[in-house]
Amino acid sequence: MSADTATPHGASITLRRLTKRYGSVTAVDAIDLDARPGEFLTLLGPSGSGKTTTLNMIAGFVDVTDGDLQIDGRPVADLPPYRRNIGMVFQHYALFPHMTVTGNVEYPLRQRKIGKADRAAKVAAALRTVGLQDYGKRMPKELSGGQQQRVALARAMVYEPSVLLMDEPLGALDKKLRDSLQLEIKRIHGELGTTFVYVTHDQDEALVLSDRIAVFNNARIEQIGTPTELYEHPKSVFVARFLGESSLFHGTVGDPRTVDVGGRRVVAGRGDADAGAAVAVVVRPERIRIVVDPGAPPAGNAVPGRVIQHIYLGNSRKVEVRLPDDTVVLVRESAGSITRAEPGQDVWLTFDPDNAAILPADATN
Ligand code: ADP
Ligand code: MG
């Protein structure tokens, strides 16, 4: 048996200063990234930020320009894709249209010269895992989009690769189907113990699925962490805005952890910067309270604003408030604490220092 024969375990993946250049375009710029054995790692970022290129370098579909790439501690940059023991699912199903479901799922086993009885058992198991045990005789065109994508998943995992790579596999499906397949992918990950590297531009999907998320921006990784770490402690305005909603109060640092926001002194519990630096105080919309009573400012952090509009969402209400510097911030009031704030009204916005972080101002905001 050769070293790349399938073994049912999750491999580690190590990227060091991994780089891809296309002429003058740097698609991936010297990134460092580790996937732990059996981890669900998501590459999240806007379109064009380098996610697919990174995934394709791991898979071997794209040559590495520079840097190191290892799977289970073994350099693989010079190995062809089929010797990396990797399964891959793409956004578009890429099933063989002239083969049945069974034929599609069996294909990688035939390529690997697995015997007939073994093939039948493995195909049956894979189809069971994705809930399609009764669909083996169908042709791809006789299946819905969600079912076709399950077949693609069964085909990618049938030979028990130690890494499964998925590039926006739910991107072509409608929201309801996406939600149910997300849960299914999460369950399958738990059952297989395989390392998953999953690409998406959908923050909610990343939060639902991932053990850890690497946030891509402009060919680099901005931050890597668990969903909670990224949501609670974003290190940049980009990450704060990309993962969930954020309200930004722009100002200038005075004392450490204190920011002058339009003449109001605001204290933040986290982050700091040099005196005089232009920064943003970042607060999650659900952590801001509106005080509608006019008059003296409330104690603690309080910034004045004028309500633009509100949007009722059933279990919450979103309120848009314009600050004196024309920044618009968002406040999310939960069902039990919806205020009387109405469009045109002058209000105070208050928040605890513990819920506020000072981050470097981002030129793009
Ligand atoms: P993402 O998957 O995050 O949307 P990609 O990895 O596809 O981003 O692309 C990253 C950058 O590399 C983009 O600017 C894209 O235009 C460029 N790029 C990707 N593939 C090629 C290619 N084959 N030739 C030239 N430029 C490419
Ligand atoms: Mg892509």
State the CATH number of the domain containing residue 253: 2.40.50.140
Q: What is the pLDDT of residue 226?
A: 97
Q: Nearest bound ligand to CA 20? A: 1
Expressed in angstroms and rounded, the spacing between residue 53 Cα and the centre of ligand 1 is: 6
Residues with CB under 6 A from ligand 1: 22, 25, 27, 45, 47-53
Q: What is the pLDDT of residue 318?
A: 96
Across residues 245-274, what is the average pLDDT?
A: 91
Across residues 305-324, what is the average pLDDT?
A: 94
270 and 155, same domain (yes or no): no
Range picked from 23-32, 84-93, 181-190, 328-337 for highest mean pLDDT: 23-32
153 and 217, same domain (yes or no): yes
How far, in Å, are 79, 138, 267, 310, 361 from residue 304 at the CA level?
A: 60, 63, 15, 17, 21
Q: Which residue has the tokens 């738990």?
A: 190
pLDDT top residue among 9 and 304: 304
46 and 184, same domain (yes or no): yes
Residue 237 included in any domain: no
Expressed in angstroms and rounded, the spacing between residue 168 Cα and the centre of ligand 2 is: 7
Question: Which pLDDT band, with edges at 50, 70 and 90, does 172 fall under?
Answer: confident
Question: Which pLDDT band, with edges at 50, 70 and 90, does 304 fall under?
Answer: very high
187 and 331, same domain (yes or no): no
Mean pLDDT taken over the chain: 92
Amino acid at 31: I
- Which pair of structure tokens corresponds to residue 6? 């399938």
Expressed in angstroms and rounded, the spacing between residue 56 Cα and the centre of ligand 1 is: 11
Q: Which residue has the tokens 């604490």?
A: 337
Interhelix angle 145-157/116-129, rounded to 10 degrees, is 130
- The atom number, within ligand 1, closest to the CA of 50 reads 6
Q: Is the pLDDT of residue 42 over 90?
A: yes
Query: For residues 245 and 332, is the Cβ–Cβ distance under 8 A?
Result: yes
CA 270 to CA 287: how far, in whole Å? 15
Q: In the chain, what percentage of residues exceed pLDDT 90?
A: 81
Query: For residues 126 and 154, is the Cβ–Cβ distance under 8 A?
Result: yes
- Report residues near ion ligand 2: CB below 5 Å: 52
- Which pair of structure tokens corresponds to residue 189? 């990950």
Q: Is the pLDDT of residue 201 over 60?
A: yes
Q: What is the pLDDT of residue 364?
A: 54
228 and 250, same domain (yes or no): no
- Phi, psi angle pair for 173, to nearest 5°: -105, 160
Q: What is the pLDDT of residue 8?
A: 53
Domains: count for the chain: 2
- Give the distance from CA 362 to its chain's centroid: 21
Q: Is the pLDDT of residue 173 over 90?
A: no
Give the domain extent around 317.
245-363
pLDDT in tens, 103-153: 999 999 999 999 999 999 999 999 999 999 999 999 999 999 899 999 999
34 and 106, same domain (yes or no): yes
CA 89 to CA 80: how far, in whole Å? 17
Q: What is the pLDDT of residue 6?
A: 43
Question: Which pLDDT band, with edges at 50, 70 and 90, does 336 fall under?
Answer: confident
Closest residue by Cα to atom 22, ligand 1, is: 22
Q: What is the pLDDT of residue 176?
A: 85
Q: Is the pLDDT of residue 83 over 60?
A: yes
Closest residue by Cα to atom 24, ligand 1, is: 22
Residue 240 included in any domain: no
Question: Which pLDDT band, with edges at 50, 70 and 90, does 43 fall under?
Answer: very high
Q: Maximum distance among all alpha carbons in the chain?
A: 82
Closest residue by Cα to atom 5, ligand 1, is: 50
Q: Which class for 75: exposed (0-12), middle (13-18), buried (19 or more C-beta within 10 A)?
A: exposed
- Which pair of structure tokens corresponds to residue 355? 């819920």
Q: Is the pLDDT of residue 5 over 80?
A: no
How far, in Å, are 24, 93, 224, 237 from residue 244 at the CA level?
A: 33, 29, 16, 11
66 and 113, same domain (yes or no): yes
Expressed in angstroms and rounded, the spacing between residue 48 Cα and the centre of ligand 1 is: 6
Q: Dihedral, CA atoms, 166, 168, 169, 170, nearest 10 degrees?
A: 150
Q: What is the pLDDT of residue 94?
A: 85
Interhelix angle 175-192/145-157, rounded to 10 degrees, is 20
- Which pair of structure tokens corresponds to residue 131? 């809930």
- The atom number, within ligand 1, closest to the CA of 53 reads 6
Of 24-28, 38-42, 89-93, 312-316, which range is least confident? Answer: 89-93
Q: Is the pLDDT of residue 76 over 60?
A: yes
Test site for ligand 1: of 15, 18, 19, 25, most ligand atoms within 8 A of the Cβ? 25
Closest residue by Cα to atom 23, ligand 1, is: 22
Q: Is the pLDDT of residue 294 over 80?
A: no
- The atom number, within ligand 1, closest to the CA of 55 reads 6
61 and 201, same domain (yes or no): yes
Q: 248: which residues sit within 8 A by CB, 6+ positions away? A: 237, 240, 280, 281, 282, 327, 329, 365
pLDDT in tens, 179-197: 888 998 999 999 999 999 9
219 and 250, same domain (yes or no): no
Amino acid at 35: A
- The atom number, within ligand 1, closest to the CA of 43 reads 3
Q: What is the pLDDT of residue 59?
A: 96
Boundary-marking domain end, from 200, 232, 264:
232
